[in-house]
Chains A and B, each alone.
Chain A
């Protein structure tokens, strides 16, 4: 026998549709906003996260990767001399002006690294080779931004700050949080593409020898180098993310939209489950007269809420995944890993259960003697 809860739930199809619509709306909105938030956080710090470095050495007080301040590149040699350091390389992250074929200027973010060590270099290379970036005047861009940069084919030559830039490779899936596409190139090329003075660098990327205590290496670097910060990759990544997400308000906006979606879901579900409970109040009174405990009543209402949650979640997450897949073709980067999907299921269940609380209170406090009223 299908339970009373399930029967009552499916009995009124219009009410069920309204309930599910509220849940689906909430799930999609929360999923997309969460996915956007995660996408933003991934995008804001993707260069740092994929650098392969253990430490980032920055000028003192640099808040995020795009706000680097140049410092003398000779600090590189001091860094290399520190006990426990395996590799240390100079690194440039600086905005530049890309000249499109039609003559328009497009802002870009120049990433200058050492193609031999690959520290801080491009990942997800889809076409071409990082090795080719050792050549003069060569760059690698992400395929997604090729139209924006006016690039139509591999080998095409354009200009950055009046200097030739030949596209020798494409990556796939490397997004930028700003409107400026990332342009990977060798450190030497980057010095010419940016207006960075000779003898200066923006960052140093450092890897520690395997098995070495990283905090000791950090302490040693700080002892050797003055007027710098030495941050782990995770620390600099978090700092950059926090700046873009909360320093600019972008993240707060996304979070607020997600919270709003959740609230809408709670309100809609609470209202429809409450209305359904009132419609069936006589039945709850009859159940109590028959000897059902309050615990049984809870289970009936909670079962309705949780079945609604499960169906609404299934449809909502399917729609959200469609949005996620569609977003890959656009600039928006929506990320919905399995952990987020599972968390959203738990959130949806909690949302529906909490929405049912008002109904539970109503159903368990009714006077069973009301069943005698004809």
Chain B
């Protein structure tokens, strides 16, 4: 069973008397152990789709199941728990807390899950080590490069051991080398740790890291290609 199941999803934004349909009947499955790239022009609905899958935005209609649980019918106050236990976010702007060190940023994610301080500290350091940031535990975000910040953000996203990592334009603010390191890390999360990784991106440089590439246009899935397991080339698949 797919970790994320989206069926006939629509989202309409209403501002006064005007309304705009951002998503129009989207069906999508996201599998564990895969990197799914969501690509499309600006305004195509990628971020809206990821926001709804991440239980941040409410759908206008349709169904979204996270780890088998229908979230569209949950009350507003129940959604934080879904995000806390199932979803880790990686943002284009990193969104690290500037007054906390790298380790403290990761610890914060664990504190939200009421992890004891000592355990949180150890796990935070271990995650940063995995991200190749062994000597950056006590660094503040202002002292880190873009790639390092994003890796801290990935460590933070992983801290709660979520099933799903949702990354919105994670390489947009990075140079080629940093972007490569970040995408390798995200791919490792999928292939080695079995997470479902969804990456919203415009960046063609990350194509090689995707197991599935889903194209979205005008709020609809325009097509999807998947990587052939034998030789790795891309072929048309059902989204």
Residues of A within 8 A of B (CB): 1, 4, 7-8, 11, 282-283, 285-294, 296, 368-369, 371-372, 374
Q: Of the candidates B47, B83, B97, which one forms a contact with A4 in the assembled complex, judged by CB atoms under 8 Å apart?
A: B97
Given contacts A11-B99, A374-B169, 20 further A-B contacts (CB under 8 A): A1-B108, A4-B99, A7-B97, A7-B99, A283-B95, A286-B91, A289-B54, A289-B89, A290-B84, A290-B109, A290-B156, A290-B160, A291-B81, A291-B84, A369-B51, A371-B95, A372-B51, A372-B91, A374-B93, A374-B172
Q: CA A282 – CA B160 in complex, angstroms? A: 21
Give the top 9 A-B pairs by smallest Cβ distance, nearest first: A291-B84, A7-B99, A291-B83, A286-B95, A11-B99, A374-B92, A368-B56, A369-B51, A291-B80
Q: List 18 A-B contacts (CB under 8 A).
A: A1-B100, A1-B121, A11-B98, A286-B97, A289-B83, A290-B89, A290-B108, A291-B80, A291-B82, A291-B112, A291-B113, A369-B47, A371-B56, A371-B89, A372-B50, A374-B169, A374-B172, A374-B173
Tell me how far the C-beta of A368 lies from the nearest C-beta in chain B, rounded to whole angstroms: 5
Report chain B residues within 8 Å CB of A369. Answer: 47, 51, 56-57
B112–A372 contact, CB under 8 A?
no
Residues of B within 8 A of A (CB): 47, 50-51, 54, 56-57, 77, 80-85, 87, 89, 91-93, 95, 97-100, 104, 107-109, 111-113, 117, 121, 156, 160, 168-169, 172-173
B80–A288 contact, CB under 8 A?
yes
A1–B117 contact, CB under 8 A?
yes
With contacts A1-B107, A371-B95, A372-B50 known, is A292 near B80, CB below 8 A? yes
Nearest CB in chain B to that of A9: its residue: B99
Report chain A residues within 8 Å CB of B97. Answer: 4, 7, 283, 286
Choose among A8, A290, A296 the residue with the greatest number of B CB atoms under 10 Å from its CB: A290
Number of A-B contacts (CB under 8 A): 80
Q: CA A1 – CA B81 in complex, angstroms? A: 24
Tell me how far the C-beta of B198 lies from the nearest C-beta in chain A, rounded to whole angstroms: 13
Tell me how far the C-beta of A310 lies from the nearest C-beta in chain B, rounded to whole angstroms: 19
Report chain B residues within 8 Å CB of A292. Answer: 80, 84, 112
B108–A4 contact, CB under 8 A?
yes
B99–A291 contact, CB under 8 A?
no
Nearest CB in chain A to that of B81: its residue: A291
Report chain B residues within 8 Å CB of A291. Answer: 80-85, 87, 112-113, 160
Q: CA A283 – CA B85 in complex, angstroms? A: 19
Nearest CB in chain B to that of A10: its residue: B99
Q: Of the candidates B47, B95, B99, B156, which one forms a contact with A282 in the assembled complex, judged by CB atoms under 8 Å apart?
A: B95
Report chain A residues within 8 Å CB of B89. Answer: 289-290, 371
B83–A290 contact, CB under 8 A?
yes
Report chain B residues within 8 Å CB of A285. Answer: 95
Q: CA A7 – CA B51 in complex, angstroms? A: 29
